[in-house]
Amino acid sequence: MRRKFKIAVLAGVITAAGAIAFSAYGVAEDEGKAAASRKEATDASMAPRVPVAEVIERAITPSSDFTGFLAAPETVELRSRVGGAIHAVSVPEGGLVRKGQRLFQIDPRPFQVALDTAAAQLRQAEVLATQAQADFDRARRLVSTGAVSRKTYDDAVSARSARQAQVQVAKAAVAAARLDLSYAHITAPISGRVDRVLVTEGNLVSGGAAGAATLLTTIVSIDPIHAYFDIDEATYLNAVRQARPDAGGGESSLPVDLGLTTDKGFPYRGLLDFVGNRIDRSTGTIRARAVVPNPDGQLAPGLFARARLATGAERLAILVDDQAVGTDQGKNYVLLVDKDNLAQYRAVELGRMADGLRIINAGLQAGDKIVIKGLVRPGMRVTPDLVPMQPAAVATAGADSAAAAEANTDLAEARQ
């Protein structure tokens, strides 16, 4: 009986000890979970807050950028064809002139006198020619009857031919005098913008050959205007040689966007219309030309210009802020933020700039989020601060540039 009692007491002690141990284990487990939660909260609070943006997917036309210059399709050095005193000047210096507009007037009186003299000599020659014709007719009737000798007849024939030739000479002299009189009125041979006046009213000018004639002013055509630039060999082989006017039996249709040094983007648009006939071996480039509409005359010959040549069809492209791209031993990368807010290293292949953003040719896809800036290492946990990839001001500027290019294209089509 005593033994049974001892066994029962021992069993109770063991049960109580197990209950106490289990309770202590449960408390320790709860405390571990709480500590882990506190650690995670602490880690989250210590994770740096960095700007993170989602990449932009946009339709982009592949293109290459070049530096070139503007040139006038037509340039005229205005010189006088006849010599004389400048009687009047009506040049709108620096302004626009129309073809045929009078710019200079040389004193016409000497040329009018020369014309009157030539006209009088023509009338005299015509009278003598009429007399010679009458003598010839008379000699022809009498020579057959023997009333006049054969020599008299031959002299009448020669005199008639000489007088007819003198009439032709007199007519030519009248035409030359009339032409000189017309040259006294100096007009614009082309439409365009005129330069400053080099010879003012009252001065004597010389005419004749181009080297001896006095230079009065210069005129350059401005609408349309030419943009010249040099294309590298790779771009020529991949895109441009197939666009020659004689390559496919039609006219080139490659669009060229143009911008000046102070322009944001490329507000002007033209068409590639000329490609040179050889590659320059010293530079590995070939000269190309675009025709750009210039109805308002804002593009001036001689200006440096940035040209963007389309080299392919439109395609979807990934664009990121250029400051998000890092460099590691010559390789480009971005820091991708995954679903656990961990920064992941991602190698990328860079393209050109487009509307203030960098085109990513490979390495990213639509929906990816990347770190824009901040001291972040791969594998580090971050606190994302979602921001737009492109500031509103830059996006608006890009839209305005595209709208301007579209408007310029409409002007070109209207002119055609």
Alpha-carbon distances, residue 196 vs 4, 90, 219 (angstroms): 133, 11, 10
Could you tell me the pLDDT band of residue 309, with boundaries at 50, 70 and 90? confident
Q: Is the pLDDT of residue 398 over 50?
A: no
Which pLDDT value is given to residue 225? Answer: 93
Which pLDDT value is given to residue 71? Answer: 93
Which pLDDT value is given to residue 305? Answer: 92
Q: Percent of the chain at pLDDT above 90?
A: 24
Could you tell me the pLDDT band of residue 135, with boundaries at 50, 70 and 90? confident
Higher pLDDT, residue 400 or 142: 142
Which pLDDT value is given to residue 248? Answer: 53
Could you tell me the pLDDT band of residue 171, with boundaries at 50, 70 and 90? very high
In which residue are the tokens 């006046």 written?
197
Q: Is the pLDDT of residue 31 over 90?
A: no
pLDDT in tens, 250-291: 445 688 889 998 888 889 999 888 888 889 889 888 999 999
CB 81 within 8 A of CB 213: yes
Which pLDDT value is given to residue 92? Answer: 92
Distance CA 80, CA 210 (A): 9
What's the N-to-C CA distance of the chain in angstroms?
Answer: 124
Q: Is the pLDDT of residue 32 over 80?
A: no
pLDDT in tens, 44-72: 556 788 888 888 888 887 778 899 999 99
CB 174 within 8 A of CB 140: no
Could you tell me the pLDDT band of residue 312, with boundaries at 50, 70 and 90? confident
Highest mean pLDDT among 46-60, 162-176, 308-322, 375-389: 162-176
State pTM to two decimals.
Answer: 0.64
Higher pLDDT, residue 192 or 384: 192
Distance CA 85, CA 105 (A): 9
Average pLDDT over residues 374-403: 67
